[in-house]
Amino acid sequence: MEVLNAIFVLPFVDMFSEPIFFAEVVVGGLLTGVMYSLVALGFVLIFKASGVFNFAQGAMVLFAALTLVGLMEKGVPVWLALIIAAGVMVIVAVIIEKLVLRPLVNQPDIILFMATIGITFFLEGFGETVWGSDIHRLDVGIPDAPFEIGGMLLNEFDIWAAAIGAAMVGGLALFFRYTVIGRALRAVADDHQAALSVGIPLKTIWIVVWSVAGFVGLVAGIMWGTKSGVQFSLSLIALKALPVLILGGFTSIPGAIVGGLIIGVGEKVAEIYWGPLIGGAIENWFAYMLALVFLLFRPQGLFGEKIIERV
């Protein structure tokens, strides 16, 4: 009885007795969630357009951030460094298309997946060879001061991250729905061969989509790099994006966002209100547990593409 009470009643009593603190936890969670979403977005883009689960997305985040911070440390102004880093991601996309995707066209998914693991190792190693493996401090000039709204203590940087994330998602959604290239991307995602047969060049589409994923990686890298420094562990946040994808659906851009938010909030709330019951550290595994539950009951995720089956 006491155990049940501690699990099902007391946490909620706590939430209601201190609503401002609860709101602070939720908002903090939402803002972290946006950061997860940014990483997940890169996965969704590539998965949508080429049906490949791109294991290298985390490495792309690291590589983009390393390039940016490396250039800045060499005295390149921020705006120029941003442009060069974005350009480098386009070059990476072109090289990946040429050396990895094209020779493996029409191979089973698992082979492409393995190839992206190879890309991961290459990008991590290459990035650290060029720019060194120290922890770099990154500051692109986004203000980072705490401030108070209605009794809640918030961080200005988090608000910026959320705004940038929202703008990116909106932009990408419009791009996919209303442009010729966007429509071609969705067509390729649906059926490679048919896309080829109507004259959509896979080569161009893949370069576009990997470049966009590279830009998204760059933005994610800036956000995470500013928070925790640019270092090797950046490439591991890809692992945090996995449950976000399972929750939101691998093929849905809004899904990546909502999934990120749910996981961000969920793990913060769970940590603070239920953590003490079992000695804490729920934050580290909560997301994966949630993903497991989703895999059991709704494998396509909240917003994933319906698996169309005609009979």
Residues 194-233 close enough to bind other proteins by CB under 8 A: 194-201
Query: Helical H runs in 249-308?
Result: 253-269, 282-297
At its nearest, how many Å lie between other proteins and the CB of residue 170? 20
Distance, in Å, from the CA atom of 270 to the CA atom of 286, rounded to the nearest integer, reads 8
Polymer length of the chain: 311
Binder among 41, 161, 189, 220 for other proteins (CB under 8 A): 189
Question: Phi and psi for 303 in degrees, rounded to 5?
Answer: -120, 15
Q: Which is nearer to other proteins, 296 or 308 (CB)?
A: 308
Distance from CA of residue 150 to its chain's centroid?
Answer: 30
Residue 151: which region, alpha, beta or left (left: phi > 0; alpha: psi -120 to 50)?
Answer: left
184 near other proteins, rule: CB under 8 A:
yes
Q: Which is nearer to other proteins, 195 or 287 (CB)?
A: 195
Binding flags for other proteins, 270-309, as an x/- string (CB under 8 A): -----------------------------------x--x-
At its nearest, how many Å lie between other proteins and the CB of residue 246? 20
183 near other proteins, rule: CB under 8 A:
yes
Q: How many CB atoms are closer than 10 A to CB 134?
A: 11
At its nearest, how many Å lie between other proteins and the CB of residue 193? 6
Binding flags for other proteins, 85-114, as an x/- string (CB under 8 A): --------------------xx--------
190 near other proteins, rule: CB under 8 A:
yes
Instruction: Give, in degrees to the nearest 5, the angle at Cα 57 between 216 and 269.
Output: 80
Q: How far does the chain reach from its first CA to its final CA, in angstroms?
A: 51
Give the binding-site size for other proteins (rule: CB under 8 A): 23
Residue 48: partners with Cβ closer than 8 Å, 6 or more residues away:
176, 185, 186, 189, 209, 250, 251, 253
Q: Which is nearer to other proteins, 183 or 298 (CB)?
A: 183
73 near other proteins, rule: CB under 8 A:
no
Distance set, CA 94 to CA 29, 113, 128, 275 (Å): 36, 18, 21, 46
Binding flags for other proteins, 152-181, as an x/- string (CB under 8 A): ----------------------------x-
Interface residues with other proteins (CB under 8 A) are 105-106, 180, 183-184, 186-187, 189-201, 305, 308, 310
